[in-house]
Amino acid sequence: MKRQFAAVAAVLALVVASSGAVAEQKSQKGKGPAGPQVRYFDLSSSVFSELGAEAILKEIRQGTTLTAAELEICHQVAPGSNRLDRFVVPLKVEGNRLTGSGQSQEGKQAVSVNLTRRAAGGNFNFEGTITAGSITEKVRSTDNAEMTEEEITDQFLAEPAIEAAPDDFTAAWPQALHARVGRSALTSLLDALRDQNVRLVYNSLLPSCRVLRSGNYSVQIDIDAERAGAVMAKVKSVSGVAEVGFSPNTPNMGRAVRFPSAGWRDGGGKLERDKLAAAVAAAMAKAMGATVGATTWDPVMGELSIELKRPDESVAGLKLSQIITVSTVVAPESLTNNQQSILWIESINSRIADERSPPRLTFTTNQGDEGGEGQNSEPEGSDALPDAVATALKGKTWDSDSDQWRK
């Protein structure tokens, strides 16, 4: 009898303990996250909108209670100006009021913020005034949804990615170097590039809100793909350059050809341009039923331009020709391996020319005309060019379905 009582008591104790554990779990679950939560609001459309502003309000909450806030605004100093200013103001939380003052980063202008915050369900409204120097803005921003740190970073804070050493140029474009350089070192970088025969993307030199936040420019340097390694080494040597490399974006591989470099590069690995141009142009001319007009290499970007010509008999009684221009880019397969090379067919354009003695007719074609090849449209037979070049160079074309070179 005693043994039966002891067994029943043990079972009851286990049931009570289990019930307590479940209750505790439910209680903890109802409390939500124990630590502070950080959320953001994008107020750009409601604050300094005429000045192209980016406005980010950061909130720190404990549960549903707002404990701290911060407002960052980056804006043009005047409508349409390339000059920017920025300020970050910590805000004091007093009930539903957010107030604070500070100084702008560039112009050292006095800044003050006085906002009223109202929350209704998942929507948040902000009203009040913001003053920066002589500018006073009345704010009324409604129906704002909160954003996570990841979302706000993707939209405003993340800097462009740079791949310092891509495995090969199927994963990065060899004509575009990107350098991350401190603001104070920008002119030093530009001076170092003066004798490098490169082309700079002007927009990457203009100050942006990302530049003001991070303190770095991300400068794009367009180059001859054959000289990418040498220019990259020069850029690395400049004090103040934090990173240099390529944008990790896949090039358009649909008309790319990979071919052995042997026979097309000299003993030092330098491309034998005249020889390669003649072979590629001859292969293209054969595929298009055309003759070779000219081949030229761009002195800055190193692009090979091939001009082909074939008769156009669309209009009886006129001696017309179709002039086809094919633009290509050639590069070693990677920065560290030039045993293989890659040729990209970048563009194929055509125009109609009057081949009679002067005076001559000139032509343009409406792109929307049925059956017509527009003045800059791709001519018939263009799709055959990658295979023709691959055959001439004993190379391979790209299989877009499997994302690899064809066997």
CATH number at residue 239: 3.30.70.260
Please compute Rg for the chain using Cα positions.
32
Does one domain contain both 263 and 391? yes
**Locate tokens 């405003």: which residue?**
156
19 located within any domain: no
Q: How many domains does the chain have?
A: 3
Which CATH number characterizes residue 76's domain? 2.40.128
Q: Are residues 209 and 264 in the same domain?
A: no
Residues 281, 263 within the same domain: yes
- From first to last of the 407 residues of the chain, give the pLDDT tens digit: 434 434 434 443 433 344 444 444 444 444 445 689 999 999 999 999 999 999 999 999 998 899 999 999 999 999 999 999 999 999 999 999 999 999 999 999 999 999 999 998 888 999 999 999 999 999 999 999 999 999 999 999 999 999 998 999 999 999 999 999 999 999 999 999 999 999 999 999 999 999 999 999 999 999 999 999 999 999 999 999 999 999 988 899 999 999 999 999 999 999 999 999 999 999 999 999 999 999 999 999 999 999 999 999 989 889 999 999 999 999 999 999 899 999 999 999 999 999 999 999 999 876 555 444 444 568 999 999 999 999 999 999 999 999 999 98
Domain boundary (123, 157, 191) is at 157
* Pair (234, 304) in one structural domain: no
Residue 186 in any domain: the answer is: yes
Please, are residues 305 and 296 in contact by the beta-carbon 8 Å criterion? yes
Query: Does one domain contain both 355 and 374?
Result: yes
Give how far Cα 299 sits from Cα of 92, 330, 336, Å. 59, 13, 23
Structural domain boundaries enclosing 342: 256-405
Beta bridge partners of 176: 222
Residues 263 and 199: their CA atoms lie apart, in Å, by 30
Query: Domain check: are 240 and 265 in the same one?
Result: no
pTM: 0.83
